[in-house]
Structure 1
Amino acid sequence: MDLQHLKYFQTVARLEHMTFAAQELHIAQPALSVIISRMEEQLGVPLFDRQGRRIKLNPYGKIYLEKVNLALHALEEGQRELSDLAGIEKATISIAATTLNRFSNVLGPYLAAHPQANFRIMQTPTEEMKVQLLQSGEIDFVFAAPPITAEGIVGSELLTEEIMLVVPPQHHFAGRSSIRLSEAAHEPFISLKPGYSFRDLTFSYCKEAGFVPRVVCEGDEPTSIGSLVAAGLGIAFLPAAARSGNSSLVFLTIEEPVCMRTMQLAWLEGRYVSGAARSFRDFVIGYFASGSDNLAVD
């Protein structure tokens, strides 16, 4: 079976959506559908349950995906080790994060010191998808918040930062510097869509404060939240580091409950890490240990 087709199957299985997988793989959706169908014919069993345009990995597919992940993982590790031994490491570092601009401050200094390095960066909206990418061996590292606790994944905590309540300058809370979260129980909220870890975390703080936030707008781009707050649509949660890009907004410290989050650089335990990836990992950990910078919203 074609190795590239196995990688196609891996992507379709992760996204469980043929069109989205085709877009990520940069191939035509009908061609991808044919490849998956032929793979199922060769195996003699269906790999997905199909309900209209929706597809879902079935028990056969889950078993096969586990073996495909192991096989591709072993082949990729072998290639990395041979490249390192032969001195022809291509210095490609693969990373997944929720927003692609969140770690630009650390990439610049690293590339200045290592101009030969190449990056492959993927945008993933949920921590579940980051775990899948690590476990499949498709990427070297993920930036995660809160830290990933899945078996076989390890990491280094980079920083812990305050989560703040953000309001437009004309808001009746704007003259204050702090607030108890329960005071915002009846306010309209702007939020990320379900599935984002930042949404889950902030909603847990609302629950602790005794209310469920009334969401008037949900989005899938974290960096757009500030502009929607500035437009007066509602209030929102943002990490303290987001103040640098949202100077027109008022950031309020949340007195109760204490709202914090921890950012982690995570990788798959036991996976072979290339020289380039080890260099980047050490640089990132040292960069944040020195207090050089903070990350923005994820």
Structure 2
Amino acid sequence: MRGDFMEIRQMENFIVVCEELHFTRAADKIGISQPTLSQQIRALEDELGVPLFDRVGKKIVMTQAGTLFLEHCVQMVRHLQNTQDALAEFRNDQRGKLVIGVLPSDLDYRLTPLLVNFHAHFPKVKLKVVSSIYVLNQVLDNEVDIGIELTSISDDRLVRIPLCSEEYVLVVSENHAWAERNEIGIKELRDIQTVMFPEGFTGRELVDGYCRKYGFTLNTIMETSSATSIISLVKANVGGTVLPYPLIKAMNEPTLRIIRITDDAPYRHFEIIHRSDRYLTQSAKAFIEKTIDYFNQGYVEGE
């Protein structure tokens, strides 16, 4: 084949000529003039390098090359229509893929009801949830479509929608010496052994920053990147931990005891983020709306 490949309109017009075997009738059916249609077919034959029709007076018959080309034209036009239908379904949120970045602990304990609800409304959208402590970078690098992240410094590349603010509390086992306490002052955190996320984790850095304001650091005797492991260690009375109250509430662990920090408790501020230049499908917009509602509901219930 020589030159640029023909346009889809040329193939569609060729199919009509094959159906009619008459240029004038085909031109009327397409809605163009007969000379224009004849010129298109000649250009198509020149591009393909073979005759598609034998012209016998006013009649035309398909050549062998024309018959072969018709077969492939019908397939290509059908594939194009299938693609257009699939894209229409995508636009109408019948299918597609949505990648969400979230913090590990919240994926483990808090977001399952949100994901179930979204799937019920958009069952053909493939939802991929990525657990990471680098959600912000993943959004900026286009590795995820939407991120649920702690509030950080402003960035013009991002659209940021506040979700909620969550109070950190001390969590201990029912067998811990402080299990009967309802509240403590933040400075008392220096007097308890803790099990925490490793340094560098956003939540850990937030709590450490609050403690440094009061001139001390946590007495952390064990670190693990798994929220499940932290809770297991706390339940085994290895030490206490400092985590957001709604997260602990979602765990529904009857053997845990929550102790509120009364003076200047640490807070984390959640937001949902996406790149400002990223096209959001209706399903992505719906996910954002459902996330806002979900966190707002959880925050009110946690009050």
TM-score, with length taken from structure 2: 0.63
Identity %: 24
Partner of 2:113: 105
Partner of 1:37: none
Which is further off, 277-286 or 209-218?
277-286
| Alignment of 1:243 onto 2:243 | no
CA distance in 1, matches of 2:152, 2:88: 34
Per-residue deviation at 1:177? 0.4
SS at match of 1:228: helix
Q: 1:198 to 1:295 in 2, by over 3 A?
A: farther
| Alignment of 1:198 onto 2:203 | yes
Q: Quick one: which of 116, 125, 128 aligns to 1:120?
A: 128
Per-residue deviation at 1:292? 5.1
Q: 1:83 to 1:200 in 2, by over 3 A?
A: farther
Q: 1:233 to 1:150 in 2, by over 3 A?
A: farther
Per-residue deviation at 1:293? 6.6
Per-residue deviation at 1:268? 0.8
Whether the aligned pair in 2 keeps the contact of 1:185 and 1:213 (CA below 8 Å) is yes
Q: 1:96 to 1:105 in 2, by over 3 A?
A: same
Whether the aligned pair in 1 keeps the contact of 2:186 and 2:265 (CA below 8 Å) is no
Equivalent residues, number: 211
SS at match of 1:87: helix
| Alignment of 1:278 onto 2:279 | no
State the one-letter code of the partner of 2:120: A
Q: Which whole-Å deviations, capped at 9, do the CAs of 1:3-62 have from their partners, x for residues lacking one? A: xxxxxxxxxxxxxxxxxxxxxxxxxxxxxxxxxxxxxxxxxxxxxxxxxxxxxxxxxxxx
Q: 1:86 to 1:111 in 2, by over 3 A?
A: closer
TM-score, with length taken from structure 1: 0.64
SS at match of 2:262: strand
State the one-letter code of the partner of 1:243: K
Unmatched 5+ stretches in structure 1? 1-81
CA distance in 2, matches of 1:266, 1:219: 27
Q: Which whole-Å deviations, capped at 9, do the CAs of 1:202-259 have from their partners, x for residues lacking one? A: 1112112321112111111123212111111111102112134222111001012222
CA distance in 1, matches of 2:226, 2:178: 25
Task: Describe how 1:54-133 pairs up with structure 2 within 5 A.
Answer: 86-89=87-90, 90-99=95-104, 100-101=107-108, 102-124=110-132, 126=133, 129-133=134-138
CA distance in 2, matches of 1:120, 1:295: 28
Q: Quick one: which of 206, 227, 231 aligns to 1:226?
A: 231
Per-residue deviation at 1:104? 1.0
Q: 1:83 to 1:234 in 2, by over 3 A?
A: farther
Q: 1:83 to 1:133 in 2, by over 3 A?
A: farther
State the one-letter code of the partner of 1:110: F
Whether the aligned pair in 1 keeps the contact of 2:170 and 2:243 (CA below 8 Å) is yes
Q: Quick one: which of 159, 162, 169 aligns to 1:157?
A: 162
Q: Which whole-Å deviations, capped at 9, do the CAs of 1:156-214 have from their partners, x for residues lacking one? A: 11121211001122222211100002112132111101221000111112112321112
CA distance in 1, matches of 2:301, 2:129: 16
CA distance in 2, matches of 1:244, 1:184: 23
CA distance in 2, matches of 1:295, 1:265: 20
CA distance in 2, matches of 1:83, 1:190: 54
How well do the aligned residues superpose, as a CA RMSD in angstroms? Answer: 2.5
Q: 1:103 to 1:180 in 2, by over 3 A?
A: same
Q: 1:191 to 1:83 in 2, by over 3 A?
A: farther
CA distance in 2, matches of 1:109, 1:165: 31
Q: Quick one: which of 286, 294, 298 aligns to 1:287?
A: 294
CA distance in 1, matches of 2:151, 2:228: 18
Whether the aligned pair in 1 keeps the contact of 2:173 and 2:179 (CA below 8 Å) is yes
State the one-letter code of the partner of 1:112: A
CA distance in 1, matches of 2:191, 2:98: 45
Unmatched 5+ stretches in structure 2? 1-82
SS at match of 2:124: coil
Q: Which whole-Å deviations, capped at 9, do the CAs of 1:262-289 have from their partners, x for residues lacking one? A: 1111111121112221221222223334
Q: Quick one: which of 267, 274, 294 aligns to 2:274?
A: 267
| Alignment of 1:139 onto 2:144 | yes
SS at match of 1:185: helix
Whether the aligned pair in 2 keeps the contact of 1:187 and 1:214 (CA below 8 Å) is yes
